[in-house]
Amino acid sequence: MQLITGQTIQKKPIDCLHFINGEYQSSVNYKTFQNINPANEEVLGTVAEGGAEEIDLAVQAAKKALKGPWKNMTANDRAVVLRRIGDIILERKDELAALESLDTGKPIWLSSSIDIPRAAYNFHFFADYMRSLGTEAYQTDDVALNYSIRRPVGVVGLINPWNLPLLLLTWKLAPCLAAGNTCVIKPAELTPMTATSLGKICREAGVPDGVVNIVHGFGPNSAGSALSEHPDVDAISFTGETTTGKVIMAAAAKTLKRLSYELGGKNPNIIFADSDLDEVIETTMKSSFINQGEVCLCGSRIYVERPVYEQFVEKFLAKTKELVVGDPFDPKTKVGALIGEEHYQRVTSYIELAKQEGGEILTGGKRPAGLDKGYYIEPTIIVGLDRNCRVVKEEIFGPVVTVIPFDTEEEVIEQANDTHYGLSASIWTNDLRRAHRVAGQIEAGIVWVNTWFLRDLRTPFGGMKQSGIGREGGMHSFEFYSELTNICIKL
Ligand code: NAD
């Protein structure tokens, strides 16, 4: 296949099959759907379209595997397998990065320098971390000794979004396996390729058959809903839209499944006048436009203290105009293509809405010149909007930010919290007391001070309000992926 730059990255169609009980399989009725390259709208290949039957086959394989060799492995042996998965991902980094960029439209530098290495690190981290955790023990006077033991939850459904496909899938899969569970993965229908490769990698690394199963398909009335309501699935870890989370919760309620949710965000990026503006702008370029703004943590609501508002806008605008939008495989590209037609329409409709709501588009807001095929939108800065506008309140999930001035600390805290989301926030200030004071009042699961997206995998990750339920990361992942039994011995 010829990409826009004329490079030949893909010579033949890449077809994606389910991975059930250690084998690649078609759907029972051979049903498939097409996988479209968002960068040029060409067909990349076909994807097996699973539904209730394939999900049931996968769940039964996972249930059986809970009692097999996986159960009898020590935590140390499982850690060896997990480390090997991480090693193989790194060995195949270039191939996996190319697949990820073909599927998502994201720049190849991003896939190869962040997404794929981080996917490997998820396995390396949880392989070792889980072995370092202990459990509680209490002596009840001289009457009894209590201690807790952990065991796997059972069969876990892992339902994934398209924006960071392998990174987010492995963020769930690594702790899920380290805690001894088996699983059924439902990758996003728009990005099936790296998940498909992961089946083979797990097999090569020594994961027993049936422990990791992958079923492709859509969400509603398809593989997603079948997994959410399957009676033999004990827990669901879901990352995706808040509205989808509500539907999955209703389906999972019938069998009271344990749920972990990482949902949408509309995150404030709060810039006080005493911060170092050059440093702020360097990071704000990333928190606004990296991965085409298709990151749940993107700081798409920018609030700037009035004394530096004009200066910030001028510098930020100049830097944004320098961003190269285009072919994901061109090393000069900083912003690639949006994921697909439907999402492109959604993002452009918000830009139109911004105009109707009285906003001024300082830059962007349209398809870049010369890119007639593919789902490209220029990075877009909008000013002049009122805090109550829909564009300021709703998640757009594209390269679109709003910039609003503020006068007082109280006012900006109130505006930052005026949303049903509560995922993350960034605060920029050189005043230490203010940093602590404001950080403690922002309603978000993660608050960064003078930085953005700096992650330590031991820390709790997740959102409050309608941005999520529970936390993953470090011991929090272990809490979700394991069951506790307290044993009380009378002395
Ligand atoms: P989505 O909710 O549309 O889809 C996510 C997954 O859910 C897909 O695999 C889809 O097939 C499946 N699904 C859809 N409907 C379903 C149903 N009825 N039953 C079961 N499964 C169903 O989300 P998306 O568009 O793929 O991802 C973008 C969203 O994800 C954004 O809102 C973004 O903020 C959020 N996100 C959050 C985080 C986080 O860590 N909080 C990380 C990445 C993305």
Q: Which residue out of 190, 194, 244, 347 has the highest number of ligand 1 atoms within 8 Å of its CB and is therefore the one to mutate?
A: 244
Pick the CATH number of 13-263+467-488 from 3.40.1160.10, 3.30.980.10, 3.40.605.10, 3.10.620.30: 3.40.605.10
- Span from the CA of 316 to the centroid of ligand 1 (angstroms): 30
Active-site positions read 262, 296
Tens-digit pLDDT profile for residues 457-482 = 999 999 999 999 999 999 999 999 99
Q: Where are the domains of the chain?
A: 13-263+467-488, 268-456
How many C-beta atoms lie closer than 10 Å to residue 177's C-beta?
29
Domains 13-263+467-488 and 268-456 equal at CATH topology level: no
Instruction: Say what the pLDDT of residue 131 is.
Output: 85
Q: Which residue out of 33, 185, 241, 287 has the highest number of ligand 1 atoms within 8 Å of its CB and is therefore the one to mutate?
A: 241
- Span from the CA of 394 to the centroid of ligand 1 (angstroms): 16
Residues at CB less than 6 angstroms from ligand 1: 159-163, 168, 186, 188-189, 218-220, 224-225, 228, 239-241, 244, 247-248, 262-265, 296, 395, 397, 423, 463, 468
pTM above 0.85, yes or no: yes
Class of domain 268-456: alpha beta
What residue owns the CA closest to ligand 1's atom 39?
262
Relative to the CA of 423, which ligand 1 atom is closest? 41
In whole angstroms, what is the distance from residue 378 CA to residue 400 CA? 9
Instruction: Say what the pLDDT of residue 99 is.
Output: 97
Instruction: Say what the pLDDT of residue 263 is.
Output: 98
Relative to the CA of 247, which ligand 1 atom is closest? 18
What residue owns the CA closest to ligand 1's atom 14?
219
Instruction: Say what the pLDDT of residue 4 is.
Output: 43
- Span from the CA of 263 to the centroid of ligand 1 (angstroms): 7
Which residues of the chain fall below pLDDT 70?
Answer: 1-11
